[in-house]
Amino acid sequence: MADPFSQVTTPILNEIVKNIVSLMKEEYSLVHGVKKDIEKLLSNVTAIQSVIEDAENKQVNNAQVKDWLKKLKNAACDAENILDTFATETNLGKQKRKKEKFQSPLSKTSYKRDAAQQIKQISERFDMIAKEKESFHLEIKVNGVAGQDITKRPNYAGSFVDKSGVVGRGADQKRITHMLLSNEFDKEGDVSVIPIIGMGGLGKTTLAQLVFNDPDVILHFESRMWVCVTVDFDLNWILKEMIQFHSNMKFDDSSTTFLQSRLLEFLVGQRFLLVLDDVWTENYQTWEPLELLLKQGAKGSRVLVTSRITKVKDVIGTQPPTHLLGLPDEECWSLFSKIAFKGDSQRPKVLEDIGRGIVRKCKGLPLAVKAMAGLLRGCVDVNKWRQIQGSEIWEIEDQNSNSGTDRPKILAILQLSYDHLPHPLKLCFAYCSLFPKAYVFHKKELVKHWIAQRFIQAEGQGLKGRGGDWNFSKQPLHVSLLGKEVEKPMLEIVENARNLRTILFPSPYLKNFGHQALDKVFHKLKYIRTLDLSSSTILELPSSIEKLKLLRYLDLSRTEIKVLPNSICNLYNLQTLKLLGCPWLFELPKDLRNLVNLQRLELEDLFWVKYSYLATKIGRLNQSAGLSCFSINVGEAKLNEKEYLQKLVFEWSDKVVNTHNEATEMSVLEDLQPHLNLKELKICHYRGSEFPAWMREGLLPNLVSVTLNHCTKCKTLTLGELPNLQVLYIKGMQQLEKWPEVQCPSLKRLEFSNCPKLRELPNCFPRLTDLKIKRCKSLMALPVAPNLMCLILIDNPNLENWGDYLVTWESMNDEGQRSRRDQWSSCNLLELKVTGNPKLQALPQIFALQKLEISRCESLVALPQPRFALRLQHLALDACHDGTLVRAIPNTNSLFSLSISGISSLISFPKWPQLPGLKALYIRDCKDLVSLSESEVGSLPSLISLKLLSIRNCPMLVTLTKELPDTLECLSISSCPLLQSLGPKEILKSHTSLKDLSIEDCPMLQFLPEDGLPSSLQHLQIQRCPLLTERCQKEEGSRGGPEWPKVMHIPDLEIDFPKVSTTLALPKKKSSAWYCRFPGLGEEKESMKKKGGTDLNNLNALTEVFLECKRKKKWADELTGYTCFMLYPRSLHITWNNNKYWNWNCFEETSDENIEVARLSHVCWLDVRGKLTMSELSPGVIYEIVYVVKLKKEASGWELPIILKLSLPGGRDQERQVSLLEKPRKQWIELNVGNFESKDGETGEVCFDLFQHGTHWKGGLIIKGAILRPKKQITL
């Protein structure tokens, strides 16, 4: 296949030339002696512009024209570099002249003299290029349609379809057929237009054909017509095709008026179906003439439109569109096997396995599936199948381009979508090819890259297109490097590509750049625009960074850089400077104000905790965005001029009281009025009694988020009219009494915390979805919020009114008819948590929760009725005085997690309700509980899906239970001091699903069940149960304790036997002789760090070795010298590890080293895997593996247990189940994966996994890493 970047070479030339001309007119009037050269150059450029379009069309079949365009492209790029450099030098000179009283004549003219010489050279190149074009006889075209001849339309599919070859789309077909036949969409004098939207190759046309040929559809419509429209929406063509389809007669070209009258002869009064296949127009004026004609049909007429363009549904569609997605894998396989195997069910297993791999590569695209299957139809050569599986689609097409077969051309069809893009978007689209497959793009970040290359330009709130270029031949302009070691290939590229404009390293690895290497790069890359050095080991940025005069985008995020050289302030063109996650950066350069084009200075909030002073004259940074301001000169701030400022934080010290009087503080904040474009505002520890007028009067209409923390003197919250405000956080406003009115119609999230005097809120929030009220002692009633989905109420002692009312909605249709609809304001509530609200007497009347948690609400005596519990998934009841709420648990099929805790006076549980879907049951802190059920009827076995049963801290429980559910997989019992029996002798033996059994802190328990434990049990943990532990002990030379035979078959035992020899896992003091145990230490010397110093020669002073750019850590156990490892998150495989689901933050290790940790935002499919080669461990040692994690305070979604899996060489696997719901929050904890013995000479890898696969969202987990260390030595 041709280089894909060649497809973006020619469309951008017009834009590049326009910018060259523009820059010449503006800048080179300052250069003397080149007037004739400029005029000649302009003349040549104009002449070239007029024929570019024809050259683009002819280059496909004419190699000489293609070569000519390449020369033109290179000349245009060089010209742009020259012009940009000259403009930069000119502006830097102006800045310098303003500062210096005396100016050297040489410095004043030298760069102009160089520019003049370069203009002469570029003019000569364009003169030669202009002369060469004469030999190609190119036609002059202006405003023509490039790349297509509208008189020659491709031979697209008609209305016929072979149904036997169609797979899937049954639901879509049924839905569209209903829309065609139902009269609910009928409207007199109008026609219903039903769009089918999807990318090329998804089967839009096939779906339309199925519907078009449906027998019921044929009978329903008096007339049916099919027209393939394609890119050019030609009204005459469409009318002629409609007439020909209806009359079955060929029709000659005629005028539009004649065609319209001929069509109306049969269209008026008829109920018709028209399919417009492959529509591209986004212009309503183009569609309107045809729409007016179609409205003449009878009531019930339909138009079915297929299109790749999403906007078509808005321009043409009148009914909800059908958005086609990729086919599921099994349907794709069915389609593939029908074609490739000719429907034969008897096929070789090896070909089926390869075929399924090919199908997965097609990503659900039917067109690709059919094309691949067609290539392999009737072929039994395994090698060819494997070749197809290992090749890319465009490579396969190239290999078969000369076969003479008429097979679908996948890329040719998909390229139509690309060709339809405007020129600037083609550039933006092609730029994405710099990133690896499956790379998750972040929209805002990608736009910054495009702006840096000037493909688009920010103008106000919109974007304007512009030209740019690539060349990935001998002189690449844009390069991305993948892998771990990138310094050497980067230097090789820089040496051979002096015109480079972009260097990216889009990989998760920590990159290693040396200071000298960067200095060399900076001296050579004069024309670089985008440079990404994030996630690298750089500690210092060379001062030669100032050589990159055209640099517009610089990313230094997630590095250990400590100081930015002041020379960075000479980067006149710099627009984006990213410094996120730089924990050792404590200050900014003093001349930051010189970056007059800076639009985005991105720093984390933590930076401003460390940094107390921002450079004076910040007022010059008129375009900075995302900038927090501290300790600034108010008179010079000029925040109201910074139109690109996105986020602003005002914070007064909370330690110094009365540094100013109240009037002074109010005056200061009044003078710091931001620009009206501000999106986020945060004010902390402000001591004024009211907020400034620019807040009260709504002078910041674009605010999206407002946070007010500990503004202790304000009594009334007045925000004015904020139509775009979506998030409001109020915390620690001790004097706040009321928020009398709200003019925030877009508000979605609202939080009030620690506002003890707050008693009045606005009556209604129409769009509010999330509300949290915490420690507001005076508040008695909640506002009405008909769209509320999540409500959290904590410690509000006087709250008694839910704000639950019947709300009447009024709406008006297109014809002006009014309609009314009633609903309860709480009907959309999905999640409710109420804690410490003693005056709340009942839950809302009508709602359908998914998650309900109730704690310390003494007056609540009822739960939702069964008809309102149909969606309830998690229920937690805590700290209730008796079992009233427990007895009120409704019957429901949806509940999968139930937690009951702190129920006083509950001796035994009542009859369990019908909970067929319950998977996890937690019972804890029930101090009076004696039995788990009152009777055998409705006992635990009635919970037919239960997998996890956890019982904790029930001091009166003597016997566990008589029966357990057959489905139970994990049983955990802890802190039951009187427990003496787990139940009857057969209580566990017959439970073949049981895999995990944990018993902790049960000192009275002596026996396991008499019949023993099931063979399915994989993990047994017995901790702090001395009587039972002693009976389970294996004694040397004998059969051991009486319980030993019951546990000896279990592969994973954790029993704290009395004779224990401990080994410290993480040394606190340094042993001086452990390094001799490490082979090849000299090879790792460069990776070592010394605690408190940098002397790498003194090996005995070292505390640990960091490997793979601090992705791993290696040390020795202090007492034994055995090897230990810590694998940090960057060395683990984390599924869905992009920034949408995981955040990567710096963490200061005990050795003062900066390590990244992974913070889970939210995910359904959790999977964190690691591995280590067995040969790296000390032989003959029993190791344990633990994950080190932390649960944030707000962690949620952990009702079901996670699974910890250990896989050893030879297929030996162990699994444990652990419930995070019962783990402490806000502290590091260890999750033990399992134990194993490392054997001398053993090869292979030890693999470990922390996972929970499911459909439930979970979040708030922090992964520090995984430790492999010697286990405490247990004497059996």
Residue appearing with tokens 């933006």: 428
Of residues 1109 and 259, more confidently modeled: 259
CA distance 309 to 230: 12
Please tell me the least confidently modeled range out of 101-105, 217-221, 983-987, 1027-1031: 101-105
Statement: residue 21 has pLDDT above 80? no
State the maximum Cα–Cα separation within the chain, in Å, rounded to a whole number.
109
Residues whose CB is less than 8 angstroms from the CB of residue 107 and which lie 6 or more positions away in sequence, other chains included: 93, 96
**Which comes out higher in pLDDT, residue 308 or 440?**
308
- Dihedral-angle region of residue 1232 (phi above 0 means left; psi in -120 to 50 means alpha; beta otherwise): beta
948-952 vs 970-974, strand pairing mode: parallel
DSSP letter assigned to residue 878? E
Residue 19 to residue 636: CA distance in whole angstroms: 36
């029709």: which residue's tokens?
A: 251
Greater model confidence, 921 or 87 = 921
The dihedral region occupied by 322, where left means phi > 0, alpha psi between -120 and 50, and beta the remainder, is beta
Residue 640 has pLDDT above 70, yes or no: yes
Confidence at residue 330, expressed as pLDDT on a 0 to 100 scale = 83
Rg (Cα) of the chain, in Å, rounded?
Answer: 36
Q: Residue 1158 in 3-state DSSP?
A: strand
Confidence class of residue 643 from pLDDT cuts 50, 70 and 90? confident
Q: CB–CB of 454/551 below 8 Å?
A: no
pLDDT of the residue at 878? 93
Task: Give percent helix, percent strand, percent coil of the chain, each to the nearest 5.
Answer: 30, 20, 50
Q: Which two tokens stand for residue 772?
A: 């949290």
What average pLDDT score do residues 864-888 get? Answer: 85
Task: Identify the pLDDT of residue 1212.
Answer: 83
CA-nearest of 500, 508, 510 to 531 is 500
Over 80: is that where the pLDDT of 765 sits? yes
Going from the C-alpha of 319 to that of each of 316, 1011, 1046, the distances in angstroms are 9, 67, 68
Q: Please tell me the distance from the alpha carbon of residue 737 to that of residue 690, in angstroms, as a whole number.
A: 12
**In the beta sheet, which residues pair with residue 131?**
none
Span 857-873, mean pLDDT?
85
Vertex 445, ends 440 and 451: CA angle to 5°? 130
* Contact status, residue 304 vs residue 318, Cβ threshold 8 Å: no
pLDDT at position 463 is 39
Greatest mean pLDDT range, 4-18, 432-446, 633-647, 870-884: 870-884
The pLDDT tens digits for 721-740 are 899 999 999 999 999 999 98
Least confident of 497-511, 646-660, 1025-1039: 646-660
Bridge partners, residue 900, by sequence: 877, 923
Q: Tell whether the model's pLDDT for residue 625 goes beyond 60.
A: no
Q: Kindly report, residue by residue over 902-911, the tens digit of the pLDDT.
A: 988 888 888 8
Of 104-118, 186-200, 841-855, 984-998, which gets the smallest average pLDDT? 104-118
- Spatial neighbors of 570 by CB under 8 A, at least 6 apart, are 92, 546, 549, 594
The region of weakest confidence among 139-143, 257-261, 550-554, 791-795 is 139-143
SS3 at position 558: coil
Cβ contacts of 827 within 8 Å, gap of 6 or more = 786, 846, 847, 848
Pairwise CA distance, residues 777 & 759, whole Å = 8
Q: How many CB atoms lie within 10 A of CB 189?
A: 7
Percent of the chain clearing pLDDT 90 (strictly above): 27
Q: Are 783 and 805 in contact (CB under 8 A)?
A: no
What pLDDT is attached to residue 408?
Answer: 47
Q: Would you say residue 634 has pLDDT above 90?
A: no
1079: pLDDT confidence band, cut at 50, 70 and 90? very low
What does the pLDDT read at residue 261?
Answer: 85
Helix (H) or strand (E) holding 1269: strand 1259-1270
CB 542, CB 564: distance < 8 Å: no
Tokens 């039972």 correspond to 1028
| CA dist., res. 232 & res. 228, Å (int) | 10
Instruction: Judge contact between 1132 and 1157, C-beta under 8 A.
Output: no
Residue 869 has pLDDT above 70, yes or no: yes
Query: Buried (b) or exposed (e) across 939-961, using 16+ Cβ within 10 A?
Result: bbbbbeebbbbbbbbbeebebbb
Mean pLDDT of 1257-1262: 92
Beta-carbon count within 10 A of 238 CB: 22
* 264-295 as b/e: b if 16+ CB within 10 A: eebbeeeebbbbbbbbbbbeeeebeebeebbe
pTM for this one? Answer: 0.67
For the beta carbon of residue 354, count every other beta carbon within 10 angstroms. Answer: 20
Give the count of alpha carbons within 13 A of 650, CB side only.
25
CA–CA dist 740, 569 (Å, integer): 48
Mean pLDDT, range 105-133, rounded to an integer: 74
Residue labelled with tokens 């109306």 = 264
Would you place residue 544 in the very low, low, confident or very high pLDDT band (cuts 50, 70, 90)?
Answer: very high
Q: Which of 413, 399, 450 is nearest to 428 (CA)?
A: 450
Average pLDDT, the chain: 79
pLDDT band at 417 (very low <50, low <70, confident <90, very high): low
pLDDT(658) > 60: no
Give yes or no for residue 493 having a pLDDT over 90. no
Express as a percent the part of the chain with pLDDT over 70. Answer: 79
**Higher-scoring residue by pLDDT: 9, 343:** 343
Q: What is the arithmetic mean of pLDDT over 1160-1177?
A: 91
What was the pLDDT predicted at 121?
84
Q: Based on the number of CB atoms within 10 Å of its own CB, is 977 exposed (0-12), middle (13-18) or buried (19 or more)?
A: middle
**What is the SS3 assignment for 1134?**
strand
pLDDT for residue 107 is more than 60: no
Q: Say which amino acid occupies 1056.
A: D
pLDDT tens digits for range 249-281? 777 767 888 888 888 888 888 889 999 998 888
Among 303, 302, 310, 366, smallest CA distance to 333 is for 366
Residue 59, classed as helix, strand or coil, is coil
Which of the residue ranges 287-291, 576-580, 714-718, 820-824 would you say has the lowest mean pLDDT?
Answer: 820-824
Confidence of residue 474 (pLDDT cuts 50, 70, 90): very low
Q: What letter represents residue 563's amino acid?
A: V
> Does the structure show a pLDDT above 90 at 40?
no
Q: What is the pLDDT of residues 167-215, one digit of tens each?
A: 888 888 888 998 898 887 676 667 889 999 988 878 888 899 999 999 9
The mean per-residue pLDDT over the stretch 319-342 comes to: 85
Lowest mean pLDDT among 109-123, 485-499, 1087-1101, 1260-1274: 1087-1101
Please work out, in degrees rounded to the nearest 5, the angle formed at the alpha carbon of residue 1088 by the alpha carbons of 1084 and 1093.
155
Length in residues, the chain: 1276
Query: What value does the mean pLDDT take over residues 1172-1192?
Result: 93
> Which amino acid makes up residue 407?
R
What is the dihedral sign for C-alpha 650, 654, 659, 662?
A: positive
How many angstroms separate the first and last alpha carbons of the chain? 67
Q: Residue 420 to residues 309, 321, 425: CA-CA distances in angstroms?
A: 10, 21, 10
Residue 924 pLDDT class (50, 70, 90 cuts): very high
> What is the rounded distance in angstroms from the CA atom of residue 1267 to the CA atom of residue 1186?
5
CA–CA separation, 729 and 383 (whole Å):
63
Name the helix (H) or strand (E) containing 382.
helix 382-390
Per DSSP, helices labelled H in 600-675 are 605-610, 634-637, 662-671
Structure tokens at 939: 């006992």
What was the pLDDT predicted at 467? 38
384-393, 421-430, 476-485, 613-622: lowest mean pLDDT where?
613-622
State the alpha helices, DSSP H only, in 182-255. Answer: 204-212, 215-220, 235-247
